[in-house]
């Protein structure tokens, strides 16, 4: 029987995905209740924990457009035109992401974005409950138990269906798995991260180029920095957990003094702009990085997972949130379209799971590219040819980064076409040192023969329109 709008959709987690989904569903006329374990950040301020700022790209922007939030979010974002590479010898070079400023990504503050999304969800009619940690689910009785961690008090909630937007450590996933195994697999990257801050310059401006994502690639490890509207940068060091094979590791940096020695050697120009280095190093924890794979995301029509709860990934493509936002649009559409929740969840999983797998893989591959390849001569030559072919065959040769960040073609399509394009670039530049050495006519012929025109429309999510509003 088709779900009707009197049924309540219950969401666990009011982070980025939970709050956006609540806004989309409530705007579409559904009764929505959201339970979040933390305090209301609009009252007590945003408690960090994860990365401070995030790269927002077209997929995320598209989802925000559906919720009427695109302009409000961009008003608080800093444009990043490309990667500013800081070479080991102190040189820097900007590698543009796209053809011009219409193809850029945006640095947004996680906390402020969450506040905007919560306001939008509430304004659309969603009921938000804070200090409510999902603790136990009885799927047969369709009852969930939430705990207030301040005093341990419990509340019971009867649900029609549950949506898990409760992040990588999802309690709903655990409860579903206990009923029917989901095929869960966590793969640790073996690398962690630590955040530091570049404050504004003494004149109040940015200390380094504002409109770029800065990268200090150093082989098996790297630093990056994303700008904030306060004219600060959040610097993130990505490093193996354990030292070895000539690379340092977090285990060999027990204190700020040893970390400072690493920075003096490898990231001297960054260190010069981090006056609070010792305090930041001592105060900020080392975050862990892993990929979460599941074979199933739903329990018939009673529960479904999305965002990090379904497919946490390493952050090197800047797509975890973007992918979670794309999930939200897709799930809202399937709930509106399907005959019942089981059909909606099955269709959602069939559409999104292969694409989540694809972006998880591309995110892992991008770590190698960012830390090890962006300063490599072969890579730079292939990139030059890639840009040329993208101009000569705009409908066929779309760089993989562009397909992921500036288009909404399914991630799985971007992965598959990206492989073909990479082989073409390797073949066409073999034996060449400069772009002038490349046989362009041969490269053109390969592009024409191996790449069909990239079909843009219709795309999943393009046509999500509420049936009621
Ligand atoms: C270092 C780093 C950098 C990143 N950079 C980027 C980037 O540049 N671009 C990008 O797109 N993505 C990035 N990501 C990924 C992005 O942070 C995640 O993909 C995104 O936060 C997922 O959103 P979510 O809502 O699914 O989960 P979360 O943001 O984790 O939200 C989960 C929510 O559920 C709540 N919760 C947890 N357990 C319970 C419970 N039992 N009951 C009730 N509530 C609960 C939590 O308090 C939280 O509010 C990065 C991640 C990291 C670690």
Write out pLDDT tens, residues 205-244: 999 999 999 999 998 999 999 999 999 999 999 999 999 9
Q: Is the pLDDT of residue 466 over 50?
A: no
| 274 within 8 A of 267, measured Cβ to Cβ | no
Which pairing describes strands 213-217 and 133-138: parallel, antiparallel, or unpaired? Answer: unpaired
Q: What's the number of CA atoms in the CB half-sphere (13 Å) around residue 326?
A: 28
- Find tokens 């938000």 and name the residue: 128
Ligand 1 nearest-atom number relative to CA 146: 42
| 226 within 8 A of 55, measured Cβ to Cβ | yes
Percent of the chain with pLDDT over 70: 96
* Separation in Å, CA 12 to CA 22, 37, 104, 164, 173: 10, 9, 33, 5, 11
- Find tokens 């975890």 and name the residue: 320
**Mean pLDDT computed over every residue of the chain:** 94
Residue with CA nearest ligand 1 atom 50: 315
Which pLDDT band holds residue 465 (cuts at 50, 70, 90)? very low
Q: Is the pLDDT of residue 424 over 50?
A: yes
Q: How far is ligand 1, taken at its centre, from the CA of residue 15, in Å?
A: 6
Q: What's the number of CA atoms in the CB half-sphere (13 Å) around residue 396?
A: 17
Q: Which of 35-49, 117-131, 309-323, 416-430 is predicted least confidently?
A: 35-49
Residue with CA nearest ligand 1 atom 1: 51
Q: What's the number of CA atoms in the CB half-sphere (13 Å) around residue 299?
A: 24
Residues 114 and 109: their CA atoms lie apart, in Å, by: 9
Mean pLDDT across 343-368? 97
Ligand 1 nearest-atom number relative to CA 38: 47
Residue 49: the pLDDT is 56
pLDDT digits (tens, 9 = 90+) for 101-119: 999 999 999 999 999 999 9
- Any residues with Cβ below 6 Å from ligand 1, and which? 12-18, 35-38, 50-51, 54-55, 133-134, 165-167, 171, 193, 287, 307-309, 315, 318-322, 324
pLDDT digits (tens, 9 = 90+) for 175-186: 999 999 999 999
Partners of 147 in beta bridges: 133, 154
Residues 21 and 18: their CA atoms lie apart, in Å, by: 5
Residue 368: the pLDDT is 84
Q: How far is ligand 1, taken at its centre, from the CA of residue 49, in Å?
A: 9
- Find tokens 């700020």 and name the residue: 256
Q: Which of 14, 15, 55 to mutate to test the pocket of ligand 1 (most atoms within 8 A of CB)?
A: 15
pTM over 0.85, yes/no: yes
| 333 within 8 A of 344, measured Cβ to Cβ | no
């Amino acid at each position: 029987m088709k779900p009707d709008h009197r049924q309540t959709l219950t969401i666990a987690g009011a982070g980025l995905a939970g709050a956006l989904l609540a806004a989309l569903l409530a705007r579409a006329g559904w009764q929505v209740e959201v339970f979040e374990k933390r305090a209301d950040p609009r009252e007590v301020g945003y408690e960090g924990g994860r990365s401070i700022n995030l790269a927002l790209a077209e997929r995320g922007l598209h989802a925000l457009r559906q919720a009427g939030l695109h302009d409000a979010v961009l008003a608080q974002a800093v444009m990043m035109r490309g990667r500013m590479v800081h070479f080991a010898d102190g040189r820097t070079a900007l590698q543009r992401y796209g053809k011009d400023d219409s193809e850029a990504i945006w640095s947004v503050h996680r906390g402020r974005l969450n506040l905007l999304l919560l306001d939008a969800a509430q304004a659309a009619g969603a009921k938000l409950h804070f200090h409510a940690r999902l603790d136990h689910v009885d799927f047969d009785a369709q009852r969930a138990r939430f705990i207030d961690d301040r005093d341990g008090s419990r509340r019971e909630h009867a649900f029609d269906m549950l949506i898990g937007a409760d992040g990588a450590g999802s309690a709903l996933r655990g409860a579903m798995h206990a009923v029917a195994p989901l095929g869960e697999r966590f793969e640790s990257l073996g690398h962690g991260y630590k955040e530091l801050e570049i404050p504004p310059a003494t004149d109040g401006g940015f200390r380094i180029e504002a409109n770029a994502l800065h990268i200090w690639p150093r082989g098996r490890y790297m630093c990056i920095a994303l700008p904030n509207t306060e004219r600060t940068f959040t610097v993130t060091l990505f490093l193996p957990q354990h030292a070895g094979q000539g690379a340092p590791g977090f285990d060999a940096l027990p204190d700020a003094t040893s970390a400072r020695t690493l920075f003096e050697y490898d990231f001297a120009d960054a260190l010069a702009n981090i006056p609070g280095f010792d305090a930041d190093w001592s105060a900020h924890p080392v975050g862990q990085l892993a990929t979460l794979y599941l074979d199933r995301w739903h329990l018939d029509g009673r529960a479904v997972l999305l965002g990090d709860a379904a497919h946490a990934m390493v952050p090197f493509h800047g797509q975890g949130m973007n992918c979670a936002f794309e999930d939200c649009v897709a799930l809202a559409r399937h709930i509106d379209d399907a005959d019942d929740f089981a059909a909606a969840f099955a269709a959602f999983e069939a559409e999104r799971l292969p694409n989540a797998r694809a972006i998880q893989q591309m995110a892992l591959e991008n770590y190698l590219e960012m830390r090890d390849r962006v300063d490599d001569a072969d890579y730079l030559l292939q990139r030059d040819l890639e840009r040329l072919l993208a101009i000569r065959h705009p409908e066929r040769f779309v760089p993989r980064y562009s397909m992921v960040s500036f288009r909404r073609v399914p991630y799985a399509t971007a992965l598959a076409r990206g492989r073909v394009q990479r082989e073409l670039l390797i073949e066409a530049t073999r034996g060449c040192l400069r772009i002038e050495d490349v046989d362009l006519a041969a490269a053109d012929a390969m592009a024409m023969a191996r790449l069909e025109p990239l079909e843009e429309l219709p795309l999943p999510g393009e046509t999500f329109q509420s049936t009621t509003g």
